[in-house]
Structure 1
Amino acid sequence: MSELVKVVLASHNPHKLIELRRVLGDALDGIELVSYDGPEPAETGTSFAENALLKARAAAQHTGFPAIADDSGICVDLLGGAPGIFSARWSGPSKDARENVDLLLWQLSDVHDPKHRGAHFTAAAAYAMPDGGEEAVLGEWPGTILPEVRGENGFGYDPIFQPEGEERSSAELSDAEKDAVSHRRRAFDQLMPKLRAALGLGS
């Protein structure tokens, strides 16, 4: 049996490692996805793709192994795409998820027609090689912002996001349902064939 190729997930969040192993499934054939405990760079990029690449580059350079990373957030049409890359700290430096949700609900509180509450989750997925090769791709999950919190699954803005074609919020979907269609899934579905090609593993 050939030796697995080690790829570092550039995140200190252990739940993300579990989620990505679950989401990627067969795309990890021949790959050992491992956690990262090295330094994380400041997210100084002006786009999701730039921030994902910053994280992947830092992990690849620190470990000497290929690395993958993602950056994601919610983009509200009426707010010109905000919170966007500032989603995690929309209500301030505490990065409190409930405060972020409450602020966004307040900002849209006078907008009652769902057609004016359009939004999408965006995720950028990126890989970086120790020798400098890299790439980033985007995945989007369209929907609308609900007027109130619904559901207890998921995290972040999931309780107020209703995916297109769904009657439930993202936080009312099971892990399997969300994994099949989410922005992160759509981004990594594009990234993994490119990473596998860069690693010489084929499609």
Structure 2
Amino acid sequence: MSTRLLLATRNAGKLVELQRMLATAVPGVEVIGLRDVPEYPEVPETGATFEENALLKAREAVRWTGLPAVADDSGLTVDALNGMPGILSARWAGRHGDDPANTALLLAQITDVPDERRGGAFVCAAALVTPDGREHVLERRWRGVVVREPRGSNGFGYDPVFAPAGLDVTAAELAPTDKDAMSHRGQAFAALVPVLAEVLTGR
């Protein structure tokens, strides 16, 4: 019998990514998304850290569905802005999910920052919560620099202005599979896979 695992997101890309990772690593686990369960009121992200917000979302998903759940929270931290936009990344310009406005505001805020001080990191916290109250949360970072002009059409959010450390391309210029292998979210989900295997199947 397959075990169902809820990924608390409506993002189809995230769902496919976790399904792909778990298919070989944890056979018999069916990963579903929020579109596959009855709709429930989603909790505001009131945590002060990525970890707190990921746990909030995962706990809420378990509470409403009774299924083991994974949730993540992620964003961009910029050294010259003392780690901001951070947990406010998706609504940095005021309206949630307005990627062009968020990116334009970020670039305007660091216009005068010299190239050598434009470092930052994408951060992803991934949380697993089970109906019996077990909780696991881990965080991964993807270091790089903020470039001066958006480049590339792959990805979303701040991908077009983030050049990963050691690369001459932005995250939005990477092939999706390459980005999956390197990114903060790819790293976090990959690190969560053995935990999921142990918790869900006892292996």
Q: Normalising to structure 1: TM-score of the pair? A: 0.93
- Residue of structure 2 equivalent to 1:131: 132
- Residue of structure 2 equivalent to 1:75: 77
Task: Check conservation: 1:23, 1:179, Cα contact below 8 A.
Answer: no
Q: Distance in 1 between matches of 2:100 and 2:21?
A: 26
- Residue of structure 2 equivalent to 1:155: 156
Structure 2: give runs of 5+ residues left out of the alignment.
none
What is the letter of the counterpart of residue 97 of structure 1? D
User: Which one of 73, 94, 97 corresponds to residue 95 of structure 1?
Assistant: 97
Counterparts in 2 of 1:72 and 1:21: CA distance versus 1, 3 Å: same
- Residue of structure 1 equivalent to 2:184: 183
Q: Given the alignment of the two structures, is residue 40 of structure 1 paired with residue 38 of structure 2, yes or no?
A: no
Counterparts in 2 of 1:23 and 1:159: CA distance versus 1, 3 Å: farther
Counterparts in 2 of 1:41 and 1:75: CA distance versus 1, 3 Å: same
Can you list the C-alpha shifts for 1:47-81, whole angstroms capped at 9, x where unaligned? 00110011111111111110001000000011111
Shift of 1:93: 2.5
- Residue of structure 2 equivalent to 1:84: 86
User: Which one of 63, 66, 75 corresponds to residue 65 of structure 2?
Assistant: 63
What is the letter of the counterpart of residue 162 of structure 1? A
Q: Distance in 2 between matches of 1:155 and 1:15?
A: 11
Shift of 1:161: 0.1
Q: Which moved more, 1:10-19 or 1:160-169?
A: 10-19
Identity within the alignment, %:
49
What is the letter of the counterpart of residue 73 of structure 2? D
What is the letter of the counterpart of residue 143 of structure 1? G
Task: Check conservation: 2:22, 2:29, Cα contact below 8 A.
Answer: no
Shift of 1:18: 2.0
Runs of 4+ in structure 1 over 4 Å off: none
Q: Distance in 2 between matches of 1:149 and 1:105?
A: 9
- Residue of structure 2 equivalent to 1:20: 18
Q: Which moved more, 1:100-109 or 1:29-38?
A: 29-38
- Residue of structure 2 equivalent to 1:9: 7
What is the letter of the counterpart of residue 187 of structure 2? R
What is the letter of the counterpart of residue 175 of structure 1? P
Give 3-state SS (helix, strand or coil) of 1:199's partner.
helix
Shift of 1:94: 4.3
Counterparts in 2 of 1:147 and 1:180: CA distance versus 1, 3 Å: same
Q: Which moved more, 1:174-183 or 1:16-25?
A: 16-25
Q: Which moved more, 1:83-92 or 1:10-19?
A: 10-19
Task: Check conservation: 2:23, 2:29, Cα contact below 8 A.
Answer: no
Q: Distance in 1 between matches of 2:13 and 2:190?
A: 19
- Residue of structure 2 equivalent to 1:193: 194
Q: Which moved more, 1:182-191 or 1:155-164?
A: 182-191
Q: Distance in 2 between matches of 1:24 and 1:196?
A: 9
State the superposition RMSD in angstroms.
1.4
Can you list the C-alpha shifts for 1:87-132, whole angstroms capped at 9, x where unaligned? 000000343100000000001111132x200000000001011121
